[in-house]
Structure 1
Amino acid sequence: MVTSEEREFDDLLLMLKETRGFDFTGYKRSTLQRRIARRLEALKLETTGEYRDYLELEPGEFAVLFDSLLINVTGFFRDPQAWQVLRHRAIRAVLAAKGGGRPIRAWSAGCATGEEAYSLAIALAEELGPDEFQERVKIYGTDLDDRALQVARTAVYDGRKVADMPPELRDKYFEPTGTGLAFRRDLRRQLIFGRNDLTKDAPISRVDLLLARNTLMYFNAETQQNIVRKFHFALADPGYLFLGKAEMLLNHSDKFEPVDLRMRLFRKIPQPVSGTRIGWNSPAAQPEENTRLPRLQGAALASGPVAQLTLDAAGRLALLNTRAEVMFGLQARDVGSPFQDLEVSYRPVELRSLIEQAELDLRTVELHDVIWQRPGAKEPGVFDVAVVPLMDRTGELVGVTINFHDVTRYRRLRDELEQANKELEHAYEELQSLNEELETTNEELQSTNEELETTNEELQSTNEELETMNEELQSSNDELQQINETLNVRTRELDRANQFVASVVRSLGDVVVVVDRDLRVLLWSPGAEELWGLRADEADGRDLPSLDIGLPLGPLLPVARRVLDGAAAADGQGDPVSVEAVNRRGRPVRLAVTLAPLHEDDASVQGLILVMSRGE
């Protein structure tokens, strides 16, 4: 019974075939299911049906899916020892058979990004020389992946791709470009890359060398047989097939013979054009003189290793051997009976039509794998049946003989071998899957290592920058400390100066006020605060006449103008001016006001110093 998950999986494969032209029905189902399951896990989807809906909504996922299904794992001269065997036992054999400048054709099936096609080109160029290579060789590279084919056509590879190639070959066949190394342009013209689906497209014909390394392993057994038949058709004679180390041709010994089985190199076995014609070469029959000959012939027929029946031209049973008697329950009285009246004519298989065909075509008619459950037998037997027309020396049909070959044991061995092959294929598949996962893990580890190295470099750079900034901050801190010390010194000096000015102000009198030339207050002593109740911060910067403090300025302004003009000293008018003022409590107070000039360094008068003392 087909489960819903299997139906959804079949619907997905049909969708890929109808919408994108990729037919994966011939690929190994378990491999496809495993790789699609990875995509479901990455996208956090539950079923294949959900993934099919996701593909319809997100067409960009097709590219990711195909990259996952068509894993392009390749490299230059992968498995170098196998390439040495290919060069010494196949390439040189082809060149020897193709003497006289005849063209040489090669096909790299499943070429991916082209590394193996170019490896074959290098191997041929080494044997022929570049000039003869350009004249004689044509290499075809095919794959399903269009993006991989585009890389192959460009033929530009980064340094890691060619790192394992011998340096002398790398320098000889690659030219440096801005993005990597490019295969030589003059030799690249002999390689042609195109899309080809091995499951349905026609093969490239008349090729001498066919590379399909680790390509067959992705297909199921039936599809593999179909592809191998195409490979056999594609190869010339002699032609060589070069497979991957995980692939074998256990069931195709009639088409290919191993040249080096361990290195997976095979040679095509030519198929016969026509069957061998059997003629009669014995002399005319001599008169029978030995009376024992008929008995000898009868004994030989009776003891034959296969069950055998012989019919005359009229269709009657003429002869049968002991094995046929036992197998079909026949007796001597059945001899002479019409064959169509006997049970053996239709059981275990319908023989009358085969007999008519053999008599009509005058050729042997064979029927393979006839299954027959004999009465009393525990298991059914398997037989190959051959109906052979019998003709005399004149070519006239005289009867037919029917041979029953019991191949039960051989078929059982074949089934066991096929089962062993399937198990071996499964083991190879699991091994390849594990290898792919290990390669993927290795790539991820390399990527992580590169990221860690980059991060380490960035951290080192950041650390150096931090050290530089720390040095700069330390230097700035030292400068700030010096500035702070200087400010402290200046502050202390300013404090001493302020203390000195305060001491001077206190020494001058009870009240001291300093104004500029515009009579704006520059200094307001504590005595002034006490006298008039106006704080220094309220008086600073204000015009003295605008202050409502009970100080009459009328008598003082004329003297102030003469002092500002510098005339007071000349006139001898430096005596105090007595005025009647009012203190902060509204009480009258007599003040003796002395006005002195405020000089700058250049002796110019910049303001007035008013010293006020209370009178009696």
Structure 2
Amino acid sequence: MSKKPPARKHRSAPRGGEVERIALLDRFPVVGIGASAGGLPALQALLESLPSDTGMAFIIVQHLSPDHESLLPALLALRTSMPVLEARDGLALTPDHVYVNPPGIRLTLERDTLHLGKARSLRGKPRIIDELLGSLAESAPGRAIGVILSGTGTDGTRGLRAIRGAGGTTFAQEPASAGFDAMPRSAIDAGGVDHVLPPEGIAAALLRLAHGPRAALAPPAPSSDGSEQDLSRVFQLLRTRTGVDFAHYKPSTIHRRLGQRMRLRRTDRLADYARYLEEYPEECEALGQDLLIHVTSFFRDPETFEALKQHVLPERFRDRSPGQPFRLWVPGCSTGEEVYSLLICLLEYLGEELATTSIQAFGTDLSEPALAQARAAFYPESIAADLSPERLRRFFVRTEGGYRIHKSLRDLCIFARQNVVADPPFSRMDLISCRNVLIYLDPVLQKKVLPVFHYALNPGGYLLLGTSETVGASADLFSLVDRRHKLYRKKSVSYRPHLSFTYQEPVAERHEDAPPPSRRGAPERDPQREADRLVLASYGPPGVIINDALEILHFRGHTGPYLEPLPGAASLNLLKMVREGLALELRAAIREVQRGTSRVRKEQVRVSGGEGERRINLEVNLLQASSSTREHYYLVLFEEAPEPSPSAPPRGTRAQAARGPRAAPRQEAERLREELRTARQHLQTLLQEQETTSEQLRAAHEEAQSSNEELQSTNEELETAKEELQSTNEELTTLNEELQNRNLELSQLNSDLNNLLGSTQIATVMLGDDLRIRRFTPMAHEVLGLTAGDVGRSLRDLHFPLELPDLERAVSQVTGQLLPFEREVRARDGHWYSLRLRPYKTLDNKLDGVVMTLLDIDRLKHSLDEAHQANEYAQALVETMREPFLVLDSHLQVLTANPSFYAAFQVTEARTLGQPIYQLGNGQWNVPPLRLLLEEILPRNTRLHDFVVEHDFELLGHRRMLLNARRISGRELGTQRILLSITDVTGQT
């Protein structure tokens, strides 16, 4: 009893500052960092630039070998004052701490708690970075930050897109600063990165986020201080700039995206950001693109596509006419992965029947950049994580940097920009896939969009929604087919949903077999059908057609005496519209037909109405079930009951008076007995329905209990496994294993060095401070004649087959002045090499010898000599020519001119070489025919002979010249050259 007060105190909720502290703790940012090859220097630079009080928690995942103990926590701890811990299962996150994954272990986050698991790989490539970042996007939306550093492969690309789609901020290391740029470049190309910075720049940006406005941790929400008006102002600017009204989008998404854009622009007030949108219209475009969520992938939720193969495709292709195309529509298709996935699923189902089947696929979205990528049909290499090798081989073409959709598949798709809320929809669809779009719309827009989908579908067509979406208030339009995969089928309703758009089909797109309009503008009618319609309308009994849900689909004849709408919300339920007295009899008749009777008739049923009480006959008929929807329909007919024939007239008024009082009670008793019989039947029906419902509830209750017991058993097993794992981790951490790992690493490093030296084709010799040989490559044996016995010998004792009289002095110069040495040397056999000497430095930057390398440059040396000789020959040939001769470059500048040109046109070499030809002689060579030759004729022809040019020169007078030109180009020249020969033919005929 004495312990109860402390217990109550322990259970009481925290108050005041404690609540605020817990709330702030729950909102601290979580930074997920992924790295692979070459990632250690980037991680060290990043942590070294961060202070210890950022208020953020850092989770680092790196591809590490599971066969060795990781030294990463110890290495990172040397570069930061924050505690660096190796992650453990169940460890709760704390701000200003760094957590590192164990080698080969999958690390995820759930409710700010770390969870370890067995690492999974796809085709031998680990995906631990994607799994961590994906869990951050799901567990900490809006406050998750993703960072991708140096590494090979594409791990992390999908994770960054998930974080950005959840409202987080994403970074990628600048590829130029990365040791291996494949991972950051893949993330950048996929469009999931907000900032591309070097590690130091990423640290500075994280620091700004940590010390920025509170909007960085919690999205802004409208309040009474004017934020609601500012939010309306932002919506108006977006509507004006982008043409999309975001006022009815999901508020949490709007606030999260606004918070992200405000953080990027370093504003903490919504009013300031609204003014920024007015000043910079391009920010409206960027905000609009961020509000349009683009989180998608190939075959997202693979079980859903298997459900399509089981439920939708067999149903839609059963008894399908050969000429009828299969049409599918994906609203909100983003970058097209969903459209192509559905088509791949469809092609795999059809198999050999594909050749005889017509397919039409439509993908629509509001984002033009996303549609441009969908039309390009090019995706990064990271999509291999979502596709099997067979699908990649069959439906994709491998290109540089990624995969491209096969042309035969791309030709089946049409992508267009469309606002599904305001623009006209497509029609006659067999399947509509709108997954994870409705979750971003509020109920107002959902209630407007779902009737549009109902209108666009064929009878019995299917609607596929996301795992968190339902048809909601539009349940009267769709029937549930698969609850787990959110697959719905279109219902046949009695009214067409009100759609706020108008659409007129162009004449060119009308169906070929549609009847042409008559000349008088009115459609032609079949006389026989018109006669049948008039007879049924005049003499047939009135009635209605209903479905299984008793919803009226069609009225036949004048049903006013039997049906009337009730006050309140409009409804077409038959039992809610029948007049007083008909409900019980009508319900009983319909139930009897639903149990298997094809036709039920009720006679002399009393009806109360505005004209008093009267009797009618009811008839319920079962119609044939729809082949597409498997629904049943019923025809309910009403007809006035004939008045009972009057009895034979009495012989006298006294006899009539005597029998009258006795007949009235008998008729009333008969009527009461009939009503009692009907009530008993109705009660019996209700009791049977109640028993059936009770059985179903009892079975569901038993299943729930069984599931609960299984979950409890699984939970106990998980707890036991957790304890065993913790015990095993403690036993494995020993000093002997650490020493063994060190030896293995040294052995591996020595093997790598031996293989590197053995495979290089460069003669390399490593010398110590005393000029003794430590190690050399196999090429040094071929070039210098070194053998294994020369290791340890001094350089002074060896005689190299090279002309190196001062080699020892050059080595001493390198070791003494720490300056590199390079010289071309010649072997005794005439072979040329490039000798390079570099200081040999240890890891602690101490000088410990010299590295000597010899590069084979013999071929290059001979090529240069031949080129010099050819150049001298060409120069001599030009100078000995008697006719004026010019060599021009691609910009028509003079490179070479012979003495004959200087003498003939009285110009100097200083004012000719390097000058455009049109500026020679103070612009006297700016001759239109010459421009025609050089700029129009010669680019289309390699050579031209005897091109006549006449011109009046200021000093030379009128000259008539024949020009011969040739255009040459090649790798040896490096660019284009024009040779121009000039022959003065003035005065010649």
Pair member with larger Rg:
1
Comparing both structures, which one devotes a greater share of its residues to helix?
Answer: 1
